[in-house]
Amino acid sequence: MNSHHLNPLLILHSLVRNRYLLTQLIKRDVLLKYRGAFFGVLWAFLNPLILLAVFTFVFGHIFPSRWPVQGAELPNAVMLFAGLMTFNLFANSIARAPESVRGYPSYVKKIIFPLEILPMVPMGSALVYAGFNLLILVGALAWFGQLHWQLLLLPVLVLPLLLLTLGLTWFLAAWGVFIKDMSQIVPVFVQLLMFMSPVFYPANAVPAILQPFFRLNPLAPALENVRAAIVGAPVLWGEWSIALGMAAVVFLLGFAFFQHSRDEFADVL
């Protein structure tokens, strides 16, 4: 693996140089999902709204549970919605990663096409959907009078998650070219990870004997910190810093592995 590929400036240069192309690919990806639908892109807003309503009923009246940082004024549904919103930012990107390059063989065979941006497209779409989810979340917090200034920290708090996601996406996109079964394996892994992460339950609900292993989950700090921010509780900056360091390593290695493998993509496809 060429050490030149580990240069973060190379990644930044590629992103800035191809920003227009990346934006157009993300826009096309989002619009294709809703093409032909009566409500079109409005479904990106309606789906999370319906989900929040279901959460309010199911987890507010049938399976009530509370988080340590949760105030009495804030329903469980909002806490659950915030966790699922954060997890889906990861899941929607990772689940589609194995097909992000394999699905565009015509682009792969173009010598000058910047293949490294293809795995960024699912993540870009996931960020668009997360933006709609965030609007719903902010509206719910405003409705219950629970808007806190810590909400402004959300872009910083999810930075480790974004770096981790993109790094894994590059790995999976490259593997997906060579191993077709990856497109079947990864969604199953994502579903398992959802139940192994504090999405539907607070982290302190995990038995004490399993806590050391649970804390190895790289998604846990992001989920816990996002919930802390929406209720105005202190952010776990120590755990955030560790997660950021680990995510930065995965980010750089993922990009380097993708660039190292890309010369063989055309032969396989």
6 pLDDT higher than 80: no
pLDDT digits (tens, 9 = 90+) for 167-205: 999 999 999 999 888 888 898 899 888 888 888 877 777
- If one counts every other C-beta atom within 10 angstroms of the C-beta of residue 86, the result is 25
* DSSP assigned state of 199: T
Question: What are the pLDDT digits (tens) for 40-53?
Answer: 667 677 777 777 77
Q: What type of residue is 84?
A: L
Q: Name the DSSP letter for residue 112.
A: T
Q: What percent of the chain has pLDDT over 90?
A: 30
In angstroms, how far is CA 120 from the centroid of its own chain? 11
The one-letter amino acid at 53 = A
- pLDDT at residue 64 tops 60: no
Q: What is the pLDDT of residue 262?
A: 85
pLDDT of 19-35, one tens digit each? 888 899 888 888 887 77
Worst-scoring range by mean pLDDT, 35-39, 100-104, 110-114, 117-121? 35-39
Q: What is the residue-averaged pLDDT of the chain? A: 83
Spatial separation of the C-alpha atoms in residues 269 and 83, rounded to whole Å: 38
Question: How far is CA 179 from each of CA 65, 83, 110, 186, rounded to the nearest angstrom?
Answer: 41, 31, 22, 12
Tokens representing 82 are 């915030």
pLDDT tens-digit series, residues 115-172: 889 999 999 999 998 998 899 899 888 888 888 888 899 999 999 999 999 999 999 9
Q: Which residues contact 203 (CB under 8 A, 6 or more apart)?
A: 214, 220, 223, 224
Q: Which residue has the higher pLDDT, 232 or 176?
A: 176
Q: What's the confidence (pLDDT) of residue 94?
A: 94
Enter the DSSP assignment of 179.
-
Question: In Å, how far from its chain's centre is CA 28?
Answer: 19
Whole-prediction pTM value?
A: 0.85
Please give the Cα distance from 162 to 157 (Å, whole number): 10
Phi, psi (degrees; rounded to nearest 5) at 93: -80, -50
